[in-house]
Chain A
Amino acid sequence: DQQVKQNSPSLSVQEGRISILNCDYTNSMFDYFLWYKKYPAEGPTFLISISSIKDKNEDGRFTVFLNKSAKHLSLHIVPSQPGDSAVYFCAARLLTNFGNEKLTFGTGTRLTIIP
């Protein structure tokens, strides 16, 4: 049961345009959402996050939007640059019993920026 879904395995965007990566989730108890970026032969690195009490968080060229009613979040990158070419993972945090936290990751979207 995939609780965090990234339905687009790949996305190609022209350099300078906006890249929009989407993520859907099923568990309404998720309280925090994160995006990680992964280059080949490297581990994922944290990019940006958003609390479930917010609907937008911006950090430079990166903005994450959260629509709780639709259980949907998106990552906007503008303007897109060649160095943004990577695999992007959406992740959601669930506060379990005894205060434990658990991250559930999506399957990733491979973003290719075309020069």
Chain B
Amino acid sequence: DSGVTQTPKHLITATGQRVTLRCSPRSGDLSVYWYQQSLDQGLQFLIQYYNGEERAKGNILERFSAQQFPDLHSELNLSSLELGDSALYFCASSEGQWENEKLFFGSGTQLSVL
């Protein structure tokens, strides 16, 4: 158990809809990262928050947004969903604001857009 909690584990929705993925980092970790893993793709970095502020941005679509709340949990919002958004979305956390050598990953949210 990494200590990172992601909910829900599975999500099935239709094109055009909006969903919210939730992540609770390990106790004491200030940084939260979001990654997307599509079929046959590596983990694609989406965005990082540190102590409530956006720290780094990757290949995140404009239809996607994220935030980190004062209690350090984070939400990833995906809107106007398309079939290609179907993927496994991972949240990871680390203690500091840099991507130190150890990221602790949650077990992921499997999103299926039908």
CB closest residue in chain B, given A4: B42
CA distance A99 to B96 in the complex (A): 13
CB-CB contacts of B16-50 with A at 8 A, as 1s and 0s? 00000000000000000001000011111100000
A89 with B42: CB separation less than 8 A: yes
CB closest residue in chain A, given B43: A105
Q: Which residues of B contact A (CB under 8 A)?
A: 2, 4, 35, 40-45, 55-56, 58, 90, 92, 98-108
Question: Contacts A100-B56, A103-B103, A105-B43: A43 and B98 contacting too (C-beta < 8 A)?
Answer: no
CA distance A89 to B100 in the complex (A): 16
A46 with B99: CB separation less than 8 A: no
A42 within 8 A of partner (CB): yes
The total of chain A residues at the interface (CB under 8 A) is 28
Min CB–CB distance A26 → chain B (angstroms): 14
A103 with B42: CB separation less than 8 A: no
CA distance A34 to B2 in the complex (A): 17
Contact residues, A85-113 vs B (CB, 8 A):
89, 91, 93, 96, 99-108
A41 within 8 A of partner (CB): yes
CA distance A102 to B44 in the complex (A): 11
Question: Contacts A100-B55, A101-B98: A46 and B103 contacting too (C-beta < 8 A)?
Answer: yes
Which of chain B's residues have a CB closer than 8 A to the CB of A106? 42
Which of chain A's residues have a CB closer than 8 A to the CB of B101? 32, 34, 46, 49
A45 with B2: CB separation less than 8 A: yes
